[in-house]
Amino acid sequence: MQIRTLLAGSALLALLAGCAAGPGGGPGGAAVEPDEERYQGTLPCRNCDGIDLDVLMRGDEQAAAAERTFELNASYRGHPQSPPDETYAGNWEVLSGTANEPDATVYELTPDGEGQIYYFLRLDPQTLELIDPERRRFQNSEMLQLKRQ
């Protein structure tokens, strides 16, 4: 009986490991390519329960400007007016330094057409933080962080 239980447990473990390593590596089963980075987080909102941000950046810092693209999706949670989700696409640039950290890496995400320009400070390979256009950190900076998925 113990051998059967051990074999069944081993088979289940192998099945789960196979699912974890399968092709659907990103959220919702969407695969993230090697030259893509996805960051997600929830930002505070004055009139709602939070703004869910999902940022997908394609290309790398050494790629040509046209190859560095992004998609940003913003969803408002529990907003009294139920605004539609916002989606922006465009290109991103690498900026060097902030007011307090001259060696810091900052990403400037500029949407095609209309839309606000976003600035993110790269805290580490797993974390981006929304900063202001003057490249200064906000007081509640820990609430403005996106984590790599």
> At residue 8, what are phi and psi to the nearest 5 degrees?
-65, -40
Residue-wise DSSP of 116-133: --EEEEEEETTEEEEE-T
Domain holding 85, by residue range, is: 32-148
Is residue 69 located within the same domain as residue 112? yes
Is residue 25 located within the same domain as residue 61? no
Is residue 14 located within the same domain as residue 60? no
Is residue 24 located within the same domain as residue 50? no
Number of domains in the chain: 2
Is residue 59 located within the same domain as residue 110? yes
Tens of pLDDT along the chain (149 residues)?
433 333 333 333 333 333 333 334 444 445 556 689 999 999 999 999 999 999 999 999 888 888 999 999 999 999 999 999 999 999 999 999 998 899 999 999 999 998 899 999 999 999 999 999 999 999 989 999 999 99
pLDDT of residue 32: 55
Q: What angle do CA 24, 26, 28 make, to 5 degrees?
A: 80
Is residue 26 located within the same domain as residue 37? no
* Distant-in-sequence, close-in-space partners of 42: CB < 8 Å, separation ≥ 6: 50, 51, 52, 53, 77
